[in-house]
Every structure is written in C-alpha cells, then in structure tokens.
Amino acid sequence: MNLAIHLFKKDFRHLRVLLVLWLFLVVLQSVLIGTGLAAAAGDVVLQIIFSMIGMLIPLLQYIALVVIIPLLVQDEPLVGTTAFWFTRPMARQDLLASKGLFIGALLVLPPLLAELIMLICNGVTPRHVLLAVPEVLLTQLCTVLTIWVLASLTRTFARFAVVGIIVVIAMWLVMAGLAIAQLLQGDVFKKLNEFSLTESRGVVASAVVIVLCSIAIVHQYLTRKTARTIAMACLAAAATVAITSAWPVDFLKTAKRPVQGDILKGETVSVAMDSSDKLYSSDAFSFRSSATPKKDLRGNLTVSGLTSGLAASIASIRSKIVYPDGKTFIWDGDGNANLTRMANNNQWDSEAIRHALGGISIVNEKEQSHSYETLFELDSDLFYKYGEMKGVYTADVALDVYKCERVATLRLQKKARFDSGSEHVVVTDVLREPHGCSVILSSKNVKLLFAADARPEMANMMGKQKALYVLRNQKLGQAFVPKQDLNAGASMWMLQMNERLVNMPIRSRYESDYKDSPIDEAWLADADLVRIEAVEVGTLSKSLRIEDFVMNVKKEKPNEKRKPSIKPPASS
C-alpha cells in the first residue's frame, strides 16, 4: 500500500496542472447549475447564455477526462515490452490500487461531492440527495471506466486517440444501424412511448459497462494478457448494444394503481361519445411515403359519473369494429395516437379546478379546449369500402383518474414563494398586459432516475405540467386559468436534460377581454396566485360500445372555441 501511495503522489505531481483545470470545471458546473440559472431568473437571455455554458462545461469535462486518464494510465503502460516499470519492484496490485485511488479520489469523487453540495445548497431533501448518489456514480463511473479500459489497451496517447475514434465510430454505426432498422420497421412511436424503458435500459447498460470494464481493467493490470482484455472490452460493447436495444424489464416505469375503494363508484362511471359532437376523419400521418395510406377517425369522448372534484384523462384506447358481413377491424391504439394524447393531456379539467378552488367561478372556462381522441385507424381503401356501412364499435378505454388539490396560495408580487420538499417556486415578475397579466415563475426541482416522485417522464417532455397556477380574486369570487407559454419552459427544460437540478422558468398568461370581469389594476389588487396540483387517484378501465357506428359521416368544421391543440383532421 505504501508503494501505491508513492505512485499516487508521483501521478499527482505529474498531472497537477490538468487536475486543477479539471477541478475548476467541476466546481464551475455545479456553481452554474446551482446558482447561475437561479440568479438569472426572469432574464431569458441570461438563462439561455447560462444554459449554453452549462452545456459546454460537461463537454470540456469530458475532454479533460479523455486527456487525464490516458496520461495517468500510460505513465505505466500495460501493453508493449519497453515500459520502465515492467522490471522494477512494483507489484501490479499496487499499481492498480494507485491508479484506482487516483481516479476514484480525483476524477469520480469531486464531481459527486460537488453535485451533492450543490443539491443541498439548493434545498433538495436529504432523501433526494441520497438518491442522486447512485445516479451520479453510474454516469461518472461509466465514462471513466470506459476511458480507462481504452487507455490500458493502448501504449501512447496517439494510439488511444485513434482507437477511441474507431470505437466511437463503430458504436455509432452499430447504434445507427439499429435505429435505421427500427425506423424501417416503423417502431419509432413505440420507442418514444417506451420512455421509461429506454431509461431502464440505460441504467442496466451502464451497470453492465461498469462491471465488465472493471473486470477487464483488473484483468489487464494483473495479467497483462491484452488479447483477452480486448475480448472483454468487446463483450462490454456488445452487451451495451444488446441491452440498449433489447432489455425487456422496465423497472423505472411508474406503476399506476387501480382506483381504490370508495373513491369512485366504478360502476357509475362511463365513457361515451359526445352526442353533441361529430366524428372527424383525416389522412393519418406516416413517416414513410411508401406506407399504405391510412385514415384516422377522431371523436370527442366524454367521461361521466365521476365523483365531484375528480377528472379523468384517456390513457389508451384499444378498439374493434365489427360489420354485418363478418369483417372485423382491430386497432391496438399504439403509435402516434399516444403521443398526440400526451401532447393534449396538458389541459386541465375545469370542473376539477373549480372544485379545488371551492366552487369559485372560472371566468375563462370556455376557452378550455377539448381533445379529439383517435378512436380508430385503418387503411384508406378499407375506410372507403366500409365508410358508409353501419357496424358495431367497441373499445376498451383506460382512464387516468386524478383530482385537483389546492396546495398553496402565493401573493401576486415578486419573491413570493412556494417550497415543498425539493421543489421551490419563486415569483420573479408580474407583468401587466393590455388584457390581463403574465406571471413569471422560477421553478426549481430535481429530476432523479431513482426517485419515483422525481423521475423524468415522457409526458413532462411533451409539456405536461405537474402544477397549475390559477389567478384568483377571492373577493370577487373569480378566477382565471393560465394560457401557459409552454414553449419557453419546454425549451429551457430540454436545454437542461443532463442535469439533475432543473431550473425552469414558467410564464403563466392570464388574458381576459370580458367586460364584466376584466383583469385590471383594481382586479389585480385583491388577486393572488393559487397553486393547484393534479393528484393521481388511480386508473380505471371502461368499455365503450356504439351500435350503428358509421365512420364516414359528413361533418362540418369544428367550432373555433373548441379547437383542440392538435389541429382537427380535415373532413374527407
């Protein structure tokens, strides 16, 4: 062990300049994530600049690792026959220990500590801080060990660079090949729908890379049998590719529980086609011009019988149409319909909001749009053949039931704040506008793979908000729901995809041209901001049956006020 320390000191002296640079980058990244974006809250330009710098620093950190690790490892190279240390009284175990100590203490631990300190300083709960540890280690070890393996199989930095480039290109080609194969098979939407599965695969692949690379490194240090170590490294690469594309267990999927007990009288809840509305059909979008043309059939589904204060959103539809000639069409509801649904599910149920607000009047309720669900999709020629025919439409509709809860009231002024666990929201500005106002909020929260309550989800990527800020005037008994400027928030969110601490600006616009309840200075004087959260109640599965179902119904353009966020399909 004394020799290991002796070697550690030698390496420290050798690489001290690069280490200072590396540690500077580590600290700078944490400071930027932890304080930079928060300090720039309300200033979009500064936020974008900080985000860009925030993206550049990880790249610089990676470059630093790619330089430091080969220099460290190749000071005592493990391949070739001319290295000085081969014939010196230097135990291989001591050499491995010294390199491991160096990499662990100076290249893995500092980023971990910096991130944990940054999370603590930003008010993240101890539980979330602890759950961040395996995630940070997984990422950092995966990177460091991969570079270490390559460095231990090459004698000089130039060779390391060449081999590294070859490996990166080879991996890219393999992954691109798999992606192309999936594209050709039309699995793109399916993959997007499997967001948590992709995350699970990433975790397993990282763990396997860590284990196999560790074994390869130990093997190379203790035996210097390079051919066998290369075989192990190839195995690790193959395993990564296989797991990334085929690992079946989605252990990061947030389990949805069925509705429990008396919260709902399940039997009374029903799903029906809105009789006041009509069916719309359109040419279905396809990624391939050569694909068989398809038709989308959409309609407005209503859920009734929910206990007061509860709302439901449609999670999935699996449907079937049976015609008198015995022809049966089945649609499993996968594909782009799910993504469209996710994009539409950022709309909140007005009745549930009103219930959470204690029955207060929502002035701009009528502006809330309806979603047109895809009820069926089939080949165009079949659509025209059976379009005028009457059939029986049946569907299994999965519902996500939620309720709205009022969790906090914020004063309508700068620096008013909401704190709950690791989440911290601050009002950074209130902007008066001709027909209302905009409230700029700075929201800070964690995004952690191993914390079920802070796990990134596809729905969030699609712009779904966990909380809604309603502008309320208690005295007048009026409230406005926001028109959220989702693009700003989503783009900032995307910029920070690699970070565990997410600083996201939220711009909530409250607009009204109602003469009887305008949002003017007098109205705002008594207004406050109510945070409403959607609390999941459970899932419910319901059947829908429509007799005499005709697909190709003549229809008129949908009412502008009821325009869904995804354009309704054109009439066929």
Partner 1 sequence: MSYVIETHGLCQRFGKTEAVKDLTLQVPQGSVFAFLGPNGAGKTTTIKTFMNILEPSEGSATVFGVDSRQLGPGQFSKIGYVSENQELPEWMRVGQFLEFCKPMYPSWDDGFCGKLLKQFNLSADQKIKSMSRGMKVKAALLSSLAFRPQLLVLDEPFSGLDPLVRDEFIRGVLELTEQENWTVFVSSHDIDEVERLADWVGILNQGRLELAEAIPSLQARFRQMEVVVKDGADVPKGLPESWLTPEKAAHTIRFVESRYLENETETKIAVHFSDCAEVTAQPMSLREIFLTLARTYRLSA
**Residue ranges binding partner 1 (CB under 8 A):** 2-3, 6, 10, 13-14, 75, 77, 81-84, 86-91
Among candidates 559, 569, 527, 337, which has minimal Cα distance to 436?
Answer: 527
Token pair in block for residue 252: 């990061």
Among candidates 372, 306, 302, 311, which has minimal Cα distance to 343?
Answer: 372
Residue with smaller CB distance to partner 1, 2 or 260: 2
Q: How many CB atoms lie within 10 A of CB 335?
A: 20
CB of 73 to partner 1, least distance (A): 13
Q: Which DSSP string do the residues of 7-70 spell out, in sequence order? A: HHHHHHHHTHHHHHHHHHHHHHHHHIIIIIHHHTTT-HHHHHHHHHHHHHHHHHHHHHHHHHHH
CB of 97 to partner 1, least distance (A): 14
CB of 202 to partner 1, least distance (A): 38
Q: Which residues in 447-496 belong to E strands, given as ranges?
A: 467-473, 478-480, 483-484
CB of 92 to partner 1, least distance (A): 8
User: What's the rounded Cα separation, in Å, for the pair 167 and 151?
Assistant: 12
Residue with smaller CB distance to partner 1, 13 or 554: 13
Phi first, then psi: give them for residue 104, nearest 5 degrees. -65, -50
Q: Which DSSP string do the residues of 253-278 spell out, in sequence order? A: SPPPPBPPTTSS-GGG-EEEE-TTS-
3-state helix/strand/coil string of 278-330: CCEEEECCCCCCCCCCEEEEEECEEEECCCCCEEEEEEEEEEEEECCCCCEEE
Residue with smaller CB distance to partner 1, 6 or 411: 6
CB of 231 to partner 1, least distance (A): 17
CB of 20 to partner 1, least distance (A): 16
Helix (H) or strand (E) holding 379: strand 373-379
CB of 145 to partner 1, least distance (A): 24
